[in-house]
Amino acid sequence: MDRAQGVFENIKTRRSVRKYSDKAISDTDLDLIVEAGRWAPSGANAQPWRFVILRDRALIEAVGEVCYYALFRSRHVAEANVVIVILGDPSAGSATYIQDCTIAGTNMTLMAHALGIGSCWIGAFEDDTVRKILSIPDRMKITALISFGYAAREPRVTPRLGYKDIVHLDGYATSKKSGSIKASMERAGKSGPLSVVRQILGVLLNRRG
């Protein structure tokens, strides 16, 4: 497989993992994951990220108590082997510090996947509580938490919008569209009233995903 194919395959097959086994992530693999974040690009190369790495079970469980998936508490965070909290420093010299941190986190999830390690991005968490548990100063923004661990089951494949639904050639209004994004997502079963019911049932039944 050539390099481009390998990169694309890694991007395409990464999934959010929400059920972890108790197999531990090695220090070597964790170092590689963090290195992938460290080498992310950033506005003005300001590198405004700081990574709080949680390996302590009690801390992971405490933080997991205040992470969510849809309307429910995310049980998988408390079961994760490692959680990385990505902090952004607004005074580091990059107006795009949140984007910078997001790219660093993305690099980490992709490196984890390449190592056979699952991850899940957590954007829904109680900021105040996480801040308190981890003694994070007010001047730092918590941009995201990412849980890491070995998947205990095959994650559900999630659909994507089609190329024509998202790409506009040479300007937004000029290109022909194949239909609305909403209609496309409904065709893929990802949005619409039924999908909300499906998502809630999935969480209640602890379905794959």
Ligand X SMILES: Cc1cc2nc3c(=O)[nH]c(=O)nc-3n(C[C@H](O)[C@H](O)[C@H](O)COP(=O)(O)O)c2cc1C
Residue numbers at the binding site for ligand X (CB under 6 A): 15-16, 18, 68-69, 74, 120-124, 155, 158
Q: How far is the CB of 113 from ligand X (least distance, A)?
A: 10
Q: Which is nearer to ligand X, 23 or 160 (CB)?
A: 160
Distance, CA of 94 to CA of 98 (rounded, Å): 9
Structure tokens at 183: 């209609």
Q: How far is the CB of 47 from ligand X (least distance, A)?
A: 20
Q: Which is nearer to ligand X, 155 or 192 (CB)?
A: 155
Q: What is the DSSP letter of 51?
A: E
In the chain the first and final C-alpha atoms are separated, in Å, by 28
State the residue number with the nearest CB to ligand X.
123
Q: Which is nearer to ligand X, 44 or 70 (CB)?
A: 70
Q: How far is the CB of 112 from ligand X (least distance, A)?
A: 12
Q: Beta 118-122 vs 68-69: how paired, if at all?
A: unpaired
Q: Which is nearer to ligand X, 15 or 19 (CB)?
A: 15
Distance, CA of 152 to CA of 191 (rounded, Å): 27
Give me the count of residues in the chain.
Answer: 209
| CA of residue 94 relative to chain centroid, distance | 22
Q: How far is the CB of 115 from ligand X (least distance, A)?
A: 17
